[in-house]
């Protein structure tokens, strides 16, 4: 099913879900559903819970637009269910979703592909991470984050060991291993890929010290977005190339958005790849797409047109 074939299909926008990013997903899903309805699609919004398979059957869903974020939606779980039900869906498949969502697994894949990423170490428990205090092989400051959360949930920049201890304990309450990463100072930019093409680079100028959850989604955060990112041409192309290489290395489909740091000396470091980029009023993929002349509705329809089974 491609392009105009989708106009006659029953489309479920899967939103909400059971992760810590539920609220952001509700906003993403509402925006997508509104755009697709306005374009003439037959849309039902499904708040994803443990009864999702039954509800998909009851609603006679023929194609799924995944507007979920975080665990169970971005990590291959819902993708596996949709594969089993033979319902085509947007975005990446089971394996790519699982790899990108697990920051430790993604780090290994990025390194194997020769894609520059900050030095790191991982721990199974908070006790292990605390026992390595002062002997990480990484200089302060460091970034502590849970390996299987998104939207900067549980992410802390630690300038001292007391902050490190607090961050480790808090991050351990979230899913996955603990990832401790070298903090790389520099400009924060994001690169998007759509249907195998590098779409462009946007610079994020946080209104806070760090581009955290509040800076991303908080009202009056002061965060500014510059598109196209005001970079030298060669560096702009380098960021595009690194984001596209990461998209390919993880086997992604549809759209991805990658977090990148540019150092003052011009080095490019890829932090992580997001396989289900946000589609809220402050989200970066729509900002990049709009800057390329692709309206929000056109972006939603293009993503829907790419829905498929990947297994």
Dist. CA 237–CA 147, nearest whole Å = 29
Q: Which of 20, 257, 258, 283 is catalytic?
A: 257
Instruction: Look up 274 and say whether it is catalytic.
Output: yes
Q: Which of 278, 283, 289, 301 is catalytic?
A: 278
Q: Which of 19, 20, 25, 151 is catalytic?
A: 151
Q: Which of 45, 149, 272, 301 is catalytic?
A: 272
Instruction: Look up 257 and say whether it is catalytic.
Output: yes
Q: Which of 45, 217, 253, 289 is catalytic?
A: 217
The answer to whether the CB of 304 falls within 8 A of the CB of 36 is: yes
Q: Which of 147, 240, 274, 283 is catalytic?
A: 274
Q: Which of 74, 149, 181, 259 is catalytic?
A: 259
The answer to whether the CB of 171 falls within 8 A of the CB of 145 is: yes
Tokens of 183: 């903090």
DSSP for 213-280, written as a single string: HHHHHSTT---EEESS----HHHHHHHHHHHHHHHHHTT--SEEEEEEEE-TT--EEEEEEESS---S
Q: Which of 21, 102, 149, 212 is catalytic?
A: 21
Instruction: Look up 5 and say whether it is catalytic.
Output: no
Give every CB contact of residue 162 below 8 A, 6+ residues apart in sequence: none
Query: In the chain, which ranges are continuous DSSP H helix?
Result: 22-38, 52-58, 77-84, 94-101, 103-112, 126-131, 161-171, 213-217, 233-249, 284-291, 296-305
At 123, which helix (H) or strand (E)?
A: strand 120-123
Instruction: Look up 151 and say whether it is catalytic.
Output: yes
Active site residues: 21, 151, 217, 257, 259, 272, 274, 278
């Amino acid at each position: 099913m491609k392009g105009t074939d989708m106009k006659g299909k029953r489309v479920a926008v899967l939103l909400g879900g059971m992760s810590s990013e539920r609220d952001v997903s509700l906003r993403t899903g509402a925006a997508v559903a509104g755009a697709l309805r306005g374009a003439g699609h037959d849309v039902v919004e499904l708040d994803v819970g443990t009864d999702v398979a039954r509800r998909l059957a009851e609603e006679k869903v023929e194609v799924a637009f995944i507007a979920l974020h975080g665990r169970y939606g971005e990590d291959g779980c819902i993708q596996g269910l949709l594969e089993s039900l033979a319902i085509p869906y947007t975005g990446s498949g089971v394996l790519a979703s699982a790899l990108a969502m697990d920051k430790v697994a993604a780090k290994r894949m990025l390194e194997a592909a020769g894609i520059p990423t900050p030095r790191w170490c991982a721990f199974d428990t908070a006790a292990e991470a605390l026992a390595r205090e002062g002997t990480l092989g990484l200089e302060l400051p460091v970034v502590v984050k849970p390996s299987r959360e998104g939207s900067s949930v549980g992410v802390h920049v630690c300038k001292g060991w007391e902050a490190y201890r607090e961050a480790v304990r808090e991050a351990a309450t979230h899913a996955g291993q603990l990832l401790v990463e070298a903090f790389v100072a520099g400009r924060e930019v994001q690169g998007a890929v759509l249907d195998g093409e590098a779409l462009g680079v946007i610079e994020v100028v946080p209104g806070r010290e760090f581009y955290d959850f509040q800076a991303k989604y908080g009202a009056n955060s002061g965060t500014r977005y510059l598109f196209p990112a005001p970079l030298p041409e060669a560096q702009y192309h380098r960021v595009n190339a690194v984001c596209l290489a990461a998209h390919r290395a993880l086997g992604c489909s549809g759209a991805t958005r990658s977090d990148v740091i540019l150092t003052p000396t011009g080095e490019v470091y890829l932090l992580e790849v997001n396989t289900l980029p946000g589609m809220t009023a402050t989200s970066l993929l729509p900002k990049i797409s709009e800057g390329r002349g692709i309206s929000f509705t056109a972006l939603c329809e293009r993503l829907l047109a790419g829905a498929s089974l990947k297994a």
